[in-house]
């Protein structure tokens, strides 16, 4: 088991935290020498407009526009100096977009007399390193080290040594790897390059760990972990925490390992939230483009109608009978179009109203969650500064609850958007309900333990329904989330099947706050818009329940609620049976 865990550490961390310091050297190059050199080239040469635009977009990190204008510059010039800069900008853009083969092609097109040829070699070395071609990579890095112009370049010695050490490590040249990695780390300490130093410490630790020199490896893992607390890079934080978790597991310190595992999960969830926010932003952008296209289409239709009406009046002067027939035809056509446009506009207004209300509520809740997180983090920092450790546990639990709430809200919003735009994958099949419920419930066990809630899984293992597994999991996650949220301390949640005659009735029952009859009927309305719940202390948009109803309906099932205030609630999902679906 120890061998497997150490191999896993090598695979995970040697490929996730490399190349930090070299990239920093290139950023420095962009802002100083490269900027001056490109601008001088543009001033003393004609026909460099596309290069000027490419450089402008490159400084704004707009990679696609940079690529477009670099290609245009290559098409219109044969000047080698200008072409070298265009290839260099294109290569960096392809690297940023992770198109490594295209980047390699651009960098190898640059001639040897290019002013920044060492930066080109650095890029090629890193590309080969990322592609696991370590022999080729080390040739480029050693070529930089042996170059007489090396010390004058913007590439730092610590970054170069770090990359050479990584290549030797992958080639199992442990003594050479140790020499370069340690010397590179010592240089980074002097440069106060915290992020690069964390990466170096992890690589050195993995080097010793691979050779079963645990006594040498563990102090470096601990140094990397402590330093990771000073940076804002979530990926470094999660990798450092997971390193420590595996180390403590190997030492059979399971209690400490669990603490590090929890920290790793928290940082991983932070990265996931960022990705989901990006996905939602992309969907909103696509939606806005589609709306603009609809407006253009409507205007085009109106223009066509106006042209048709104008032509009809021209024909009136020529022929009276044509005027009469054409007038009647266009009148009826216009009335029909007006009715259609009015009906579409009414429907669109309703949809926009629902969308605006949804976004307003979601924005308010996200803002509240972020504000609460900021306040809690401020308190956390204050307590850390004053060493008030008694309050830290409660503050960490508060942060976790806020993060989980925001995560669930974003997850529901993403699935809702995919469902509305018909982009979600959906395939119904025969499913055994017991393992599905068991899998989803497992992720909520820790939340139930925090509130001392008793959970009972009473579904027979033989019960089968006909549904799409992923959408059913989304429904169950929202129902469990609501049941836990509205349950009292020391309550009970039970999942069971009430009937299997015509439909399989899956029931999620809690002994929580319950709801009034008015609220129950409101939630069951198919046209109900997302709204705040009646319990002000339990914030929510109602989006999760709307998503559940849509998912259940798409599976050909039904959804109902039975509830009594201060007694509890039963959320009932009725699903088709497999025999009725072939």
For residue range 198-245, list pLDDT tens digits in order. 888 888 888 888 888 888 888 988 888 888 888 887 788 888 888 888
> Quick one: which of 498, 495, 468 has its CA closest to 480?
495
Contact 437, 458 (CB under 8 A): no
Task: Count other Cβ atoms within 10 Å, centred on residue 316.
Answer: 14
Q: Any idea what the Cα angle at residue 205 is, between residues 200 and 207, rounded to 5°?
A: 95
User: Same domain, yes or no, for 104 and 222?
Assistant: yes
- Asked if the model's pLDDT at residue 555 lies above 50, the reply is yes
User: Which of 178-192, 349-363, 528-542 has the largest mean confidence?
Assistant: 178-192
Angle between helices 194-210 and 174-191 (to 10 degrees): 160
Residues 6+ apart with CB under 8 A from 134: 128, 167, 170, 171
Q: How confident is the model at residue 143 (pLDDT cuts 50, 70, 90)?
A: confident
**Confidence class for position 67, pLDDT limits 50, 70, 90:** very high
Average pLDDT over residues 123-130: 91
Could you give the CA distance from residue 321 to residue 316 in angstroms, rounded to a whole number?
8
Rounded Cα–Cα distance for residues 141 and 200 (Å)? 17
Judgement on whether residues 176 and 299 belong to the same structural domain of the protein: no
Quick check: 83 pLDDT over 90? yes
Asked if the structure places residue 238 within a domain, the reply is: no
**Geometric angle at alpha carbon 41, from 121 and 30, rounded to 5°:** 45
Asked if residue 29 is part of any domain, the answer here is yes
If pLDDT is split at 50, 70 and 90, which confidence band does 149 have?
confident
Asked whether residue 495 falls in the same domain as residue 520, the answer is yes
- The whole-angstrom separation of Cα 430 and Cα 544 is 25
* Whole-number Å distance between alpha carbons of 6 and 246: 9
The pLDDT, as a whole number, for residue 354 is: 54
543 vs 446: which has the higher pLDDT: 446
**Of 459, 455, 407, nearest in space to 436 by CA:** 459
Residues 407 and 448 in one domain: no
Condensed to tens digits (0 to 9), the pLDDT of residues 429-480 reads 999 999 999 988 888 888 888 889 999 999 999 999 998 888 888 899 889 9
Q: What is d(CA 325, CA 311) in angstroms, rounded to the nearest whole number?
A: 13
Q: Is residue 192 part of a domain?
A: yes
Q: What value does the mean pLDDT take over residues 345-362?
A: 63
Residue 269 belongs to some domain of the structure: no
- Work out the mean pLDDT of the chain and round it to a whole number: 79
- Tell me which of 420, 441, 463 is where a domain ends: 420
Q: Does position 89 have pLDDT exceeding 50, yes or no?
A: yes
CATH code, 545: 3.30.565.10
Whether the Cβ atoms of residue 224 and residue 241 lie closer than 8 Å to each other? no
pTM metric for this prediction: 0.44
- DSSP 3-state assignment of 513? coil
- Cross-strand bridge partners of residue 113: none
Domain assignment present for residue 107? The answer is yes
User: Is residue 558 scored above 70 in pLDDT?
Assistant: yes
Tell me the pLDDT tens digit for each residue of 182-192.
888 888 888 88
Question: What distance in Å separates the CA atoms of residue 430 and residue 576, rounded to the nearest whole number?
Answer: 10
Residue 526 pLDDT: 63
- Single out the residue in 164, 199, 229 at which a domain terminates: 229
d(C-alpha 558, C-alpha 576), whole Å: 9
CA distance 74 to 86: 7
Most confident stretch, 154-163, 177-186, 522-531: 177-186
* Total domain count, the chain: 3
In a domain, 252, yes or no: no
Q: Could you say which DSSP state residue 1 is in?
A: -
Q: How far from each other are the two terminal CA atoms of the chain, in whole angstroms?
A: 47
Q: Tell me the residue range of the domain where 185 lies.
A: 2-229
Q: Picking from 26-35, 440-449, 544-553, which range would have the lowest pLDDT averaged per residue?
A: 26-35
Element holding 558 (H helix, E strand)? strand 558-564
Query: In the chain, pLDDT over 70 holds for what percent of residues?
Result: 75
Angle at 28 between CA 24 and CA 31, to 5 degrees: 140
Q: State how far the Cα of 304 lies from the Cα of 302, in Å rounded to an integer.
A: 5
Residue 11 is predicted with a pLDDT of 37
Shared-domain flag, residues 101 and 24 = yes
- Edge-first strand order for the sheet with 504-510 is 454-457, 492-499, 504-510, 568-575, 558-564
Same domain, 317 and 406: yes
Q: Tell me the pLDDT tens digit for each residue of 360-407.
A: 556 655 665 676 677 777 777 777 777 776 777 766 766 766 676 666
In this structure, the answer to whether residues 354 and 433 fall within a common structural domain is no
Residue 139 has pLDDT above 80, yes or no: yes
Q: Considering the chain, what percentage of its residues have pLDDT values greater than 90? A: 21
User: Cα separation of 114 and 97, whole Å?
Assistant: 24
Domain boundary among 420, 438, 469: 420
Nearest to 130 by CA among 10, 19, 8: 19
CA dihedral (67, 69, 75, 81) positive or negative = negative
Could you tell me the pLDDT band of residue 554, with boundaries at 50, 70 and 90? confident
∠ Cα 499 505 510 (to 5°): 110
Average pLDDT over residues 323-330: 82
Per-residue pLDDT, 93? 93
Higher pLDDT, 303 or 183: 183
Q: Is the pLDDT of residue 101 over 90?
A: yes
């Amino acid at each position: 088991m120890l061998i497997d865990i150490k191999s896993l550490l090598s695979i995970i961390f040697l490929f996730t935290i490399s190349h930090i310091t070299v990239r920093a050297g290139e950023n420095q190059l962009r802002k100083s020498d490269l900027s001056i050199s490109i601008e001088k080239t543009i001033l003393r040469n004609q026909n460099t407009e596309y290069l000027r635009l490419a450089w402008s977009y490159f400084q704004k990190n707009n990679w696609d526009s940079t690529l477009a204008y670099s290609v245009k510059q290559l098409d219109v010039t044969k000047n080698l100096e200008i072409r070298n800069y265009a290839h260099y900008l294109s290569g960096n853009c392809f690297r940023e977009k992770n198109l490594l083969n295209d980047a390699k092609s651009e960098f190898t097109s640059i001639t040897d007399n290019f002013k920044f040829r060492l930066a080109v070699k650095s890029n090629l070395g890193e590309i080969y390193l990322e592609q696991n071609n370590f022999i080729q990579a080390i040739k480029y890095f050693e070529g930089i080290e042996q170059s007489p112009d090396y010390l004058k370049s913007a590439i730092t010695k610590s970054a170069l040594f770090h990359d050479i050490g990584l290549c030797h490590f992958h080639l199992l040249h442990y003594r050479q790897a140790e020499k370069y990695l340690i010397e590179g780390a010592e240089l980074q300490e002097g440069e106060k390059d915290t992020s690069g130093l964390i990466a170096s410490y992890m690589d050195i630790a993995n080097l010793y760990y691979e050779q079963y020199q645990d006594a040498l490896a563990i102090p470096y893992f601990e140094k990397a972990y402590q330093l990771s607390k000073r940076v804002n890079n979530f990926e470094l934080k999660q990798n450092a925490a997971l390193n420590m978790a595996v180390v403590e597991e190997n030492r059979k310190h399971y209690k400490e390992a669990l603490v590090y595992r929890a920290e790793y999960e928290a940082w991983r969830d932070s990265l996931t939230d960022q990705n989901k926010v990006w996905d939602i932003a992309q969907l909103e952008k696509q939606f806005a483009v589609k709306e603009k296209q609809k407006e253009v289409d409507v205007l085009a239709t109106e223009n066509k109608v106006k042209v048709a009406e104008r032509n009809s009046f021209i024909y009136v002067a020529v022929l009276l009978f044509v005027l009469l027939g054409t007038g009647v035809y266009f009148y009826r056509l216009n009335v029909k179009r007006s009715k259609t446009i009015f009906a579409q506009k009414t429907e669109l207004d309703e949809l926009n109203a629902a969308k605006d209300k949804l976004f307003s509520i979601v924005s308010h809740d996200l803002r509240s969650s972020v504000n609460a997180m900021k306040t809690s983090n401020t308190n956390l920092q204050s307590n850390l500064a004053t060493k008030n450790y008694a309050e830290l546990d409660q503050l960490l639990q508060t942060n976790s609850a806020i993060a989980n709430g925001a995560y669930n809200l974003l997850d529901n919003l993403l699935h809702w958007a995919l469902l509305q735009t018909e982009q979600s994958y959906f395939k119904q099949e025969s499913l055994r309900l017991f393992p599905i419920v068991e899998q989803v419930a497992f992720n909520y066990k820790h939340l139930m333990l925090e509130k001392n809630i008793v959970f009972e899984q009473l579904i027979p293992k033989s019960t089968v329904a006909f549904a799409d597994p992923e959408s059913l999991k989304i429904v169950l996650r929202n129902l469990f989330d609501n049941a836990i949220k509205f349950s009292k301390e020391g309550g009970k949640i039970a999942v069971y099947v009430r009937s299997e005659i015509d439909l399989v009735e899956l029931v999620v029952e809690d002994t929580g706050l319950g709801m009034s009859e008015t609220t129950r009927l409101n939630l069951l309305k198919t046209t109900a818009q997302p709204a705040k719940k009646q319990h002000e202390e339990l914030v929510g948009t109602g989006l999760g329940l709307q998503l559940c109803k849509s998912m259940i309906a798409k599976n050909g099932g039904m959804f109902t609620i039975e509830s009594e205030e201060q007694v509890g609630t039963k959320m009932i999902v009725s699903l088709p049976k497999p025999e009725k679906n072939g």
